[in-house]
Amino acid sequence: MPHHAQLHQAGYVLLRQVVPEKWLDELRRDFETGMKPSEQWPVPRASDWRHSHLDCAKRVQAVCRLPQLLAAVGALIGERFFLYQVEGRAPVAGGGHQALHRDLSTQRPGDTVGVMVYLDDYGPDNGATRIVPGSHRPVAGEPPFDYSDESRSLQLAGRAGDALVFDVDLVHAASLNASGAQRRSLLIGYAAEPLFPALQQTAHLRNVQMDTQERFEPSDYVFTTPRPGAWHFS
């Protein structure tokens, strides 16, 4: 279908207002309740971010299972998949900048998808995500991506309740939170079922405490054409 082709061409989709507005206050409370300083994580976290352990919160788990979100994830992965991680993250004032990078698929292109669910309005002033549309599948013979070249990057902007769904091979990065305004988000990871054993081995390092046994079939969810502004092409 045409929207599936657009999704695979872009490597991401921005789902506008996918999280019900009435859930947002509870999700923000979950974020603040789960806050842990860097030294309390199994692997210390970056000091210019706030990190929240919230993977067992019921409302957070409900967000991870929103049908429209699962439909986009399933369309990208294309086979049976599972939820392997969710945590909270927010850049502190004057922090959060990242260089452009790829998170990288594990065994084959398309086997892992990331989702960022924004709990606050986001834009250039408070460190919104930068992406390079279409950068997840380099063309044969194309020179290696220059991560210092920002000319093709697009900085996202939107409202609390939006969700960015992206192939982890897509070039992306967080930005500097210059204003200091809140930019809390849920960072969610989904992977194709064959990756389960490997991700289980590292779950303790990521402080995963939720149950990851549930499986999702792409055929159970219909990916429909998102609202305008879901994709940008250069």
Buried b (16+ CB within 10 A) or exposed e, 177-196: bbeeebbbbbebbbbbeebb
C-alpha distances in Å from residue 202, one per residue of 199, 231, 234: 5, 33, 37
pLDDT at residue 106 in the model = 82
- If you average pLDDT over every residue of the chain, what do you get? 93
Is residue 231 over pLDDT 90? no
More confident: 139 or 231: 139
Mean pLDDT of 115-125: 97
pLDDT score for 1: 47
Mean pLDDT in residue range 190-207: 96
- What is the mean pLDDT of the segment spanning 112-135? 96
State pLDDT tens for residues 137-191: 888 778 888 999 999 999 999 999 999 999 999 999 999 999 999 999 999 999 9
User: Residue 66's pLDDT is what?
Assistant: 97
Q: What is the pLDDT of residues 39-94, one digit of tens each?
A: 899 999 989 999 999 999 999 999 999 999 999 999 999 999 999 999 999 999 99
DSSP string of 184-215? -EEEEEEEEGGGHHHHHHHTTTTT--S-----
